[in-house]
Amino acid sequence: MTAATVPVSLLIEHPDLAPMLQVVAGAVGMSRRIAHTRVQKSGLAFAGYVRGVDPRRVQVIGETEMSFLESLSPAARESNLHAYFGLGPSCTLVTRGVAPLPELLRAAAETESPLIVSSVRSSETIHALHAALDRELADTMNLHGVVVDVHGLGVLLLGPSGIGKSECALFLVERGHRLVADDAVILTRLPGQQVVGAPSPLLRQHLEIRGLGILNIRDLYGATATRNEAPIDLVIELCPWREDEAYERLGIDDASYRLMGCDIPMLKVPIRPGREMSTILEVAARNQLLKRAGHHSARAFAARLEASLGLVDDTVELSKPPKAH
């Protein structure tokens, strides 16, 4: 797992940020790196207290900070800005489309520190920056597996090489579901305990089937047959069938798979000749959607069985699904 840094140039190139941002000084420093997902407002730095400034963050100058700078004498303003830019901030962003003060432009240019103007107010700018940086600076890892979107549920297929993960994905695409990634899966952990799976850029929309080679799923089945990424909602481990292995028969106790610090619901499904894997995997996804909605079929069946044996109060309304927690 790796923690990323991104260049300041990413802000200008990002599709959600580019329409609102413009570089006005220090463009030669666009390769400076941002290493924090949260911005910082630099009011105290402009008052001469620079100790708390983290140069790895995007520094934002809003209406309050700009008003304070304007209230200073030219000499004080020059001195405080010199101290601030001497810290080497990754970039400084002025909001509300305000034209930066001449001293601000000059200090940014002299230190080759990018100075950027946002056309929108501080709250909107900061919200957009946080959303972009949360994604770009998220922890990532590579994993051998296959990801398929089944009824809107991101299903990660794991198992040893040659077990049939790609073939299962192809069967599911034939049934109208969507391929996300084959073989090399790039996982990204986002805020809110969410892990997203995506293909490597080179393998996007492609699937390898032994005996057929590399297939372009988009070309074969159309644009709706692929998806660029999907949250990982269910992990299914495919394994060879073993007669001496005790597989889950009831499904009352839910297992989970630890993935990038998040617990993802997991199933272990054996493969053997004659099993219609596409149907089994599709039903697994449908059943997981039912559990999300608060209806756990196996537990509901166990409750009815206990009631029929007199082990619980048979006046309990067993026809209703249990409440979601």
From the CA atom positions of the chain, what is the Rg in Å?
Answer: 27
- Where a domain ends, among 136, 171, 203? 136
Does residue 278 fall inside a structural domain? yes
Does residue 1 fall inside a structural domain? no
Q: Which amino acid is at 274?
A: G
- CA 299, 304, 309, 313 torsion: positive or negative? positive
Query: Are both 172 and 264 inside the same structural domain?
Result: yes
| pLDDT at position 312 | 64
C-alpha 307, offset from chain centre: 44
Query: Are both 160 and 48 inside the same structural domain?
Result: no
Could you list the residue range(s) of the whole structural domain that residue 103 is in? 6-136
Per the structure, how many domains does the chain have?
3
Query: Are both 22 and 109 inside the same structural domain?
Result: yes
Residues near 168 by beta carbon (within 8 Å), at least 6 away in sequence: 146, 148, 157, 238, 277, 278, 281
**Which pair of tokens denotes residue 6?**
């991104």
| pLDDT at position 226 | 98
Query: Are both 227 and 316 inside the same structural domain?
Result: no
Query: Are both 113 and 151 inside the same structural domain?
Result: no
> Which SS3 state, helix, strand or coil, does residue 279 take?
helix
Does residue 255 fall inside a structural domain? yes
What's the CA gap between 239 and 258, in Å, rounded?
18
Query: Are both 229 and 325 inside the same structural domain?
Result: no
Query: Are both 147 and 121 inside the same structural domain?
Result: no
CATH number for the domain that contains residue 105: 3.40.1390.20
| pLDDT at position 316 | 46
CATH number for the domain that contains residue 217: 3.40.50.300
- CA 41, 42, 43, 49 torsion: positive or negative? positive
What's the CA gap between 195 and 256, in Å, rounded?
14
Report DSSP letters for 15-73, one per residue. TTTGGGEEEEE-GGGTTPEE--SS-EE-HHHHTT--TT--TTSEEEE-HHHHHHHHHS-
C-alpha 42, offset from chain centre: 29
Query: Are both 64 and 204 inside the same structural domain?
Result: no
Q: Which amino acid is at 109?
A: A
- Where a domain ends, among 98, 118, 136? 136
Instruction: Tell me the C-alpha to C-alpha distance, in Å, between residue 217 and each of 140, 178, 231.
Output: 25, 9, 20
Query: Are both 157 and 288 inside the same structural domain?
Result: yes
Query: Are both 124 and 170 inside the same structural domain?
Result: no
Query: Are both 314 and 193 inside the same structural domain?
Result: no
Does residue 71 fall inside a structural domain? yes
Does residue 222 fall inside a structural domain? yes
Report DSSP letters for 174-231, one per residue. HTT-EEEEEEEEEEEEETTTEEEEEE-GGGTTEEEETTTEEEEHHHHH-GGGB-S-EE
Query: Are both 157 and 263 inside the same structural domain?
Result: yes
Q: At what angle do helices 102-110 and 74-85 cross, to 10 degrees?
A: 30
- Where a domain ends, among 88, 107, 136? 136
Of 206, 191, 94, 97, residue with least CA distance to 136: 191
Residues involved in catalysis: 144, 165, 183, 249
10-residue mean pLDDT series, the chain (325 residues):
80 96 97 96 87 94 93 93 95 96 95 97 96 92 97 97 95 97 95 92 95 96 97 96 82 92 95 89 96 92 87 52 50
Burial class (CB in 10 A: 0-12, 13-18, 19+), 13: exposed
What's the CA gap between 83 and 64, in Å, rounded?
19
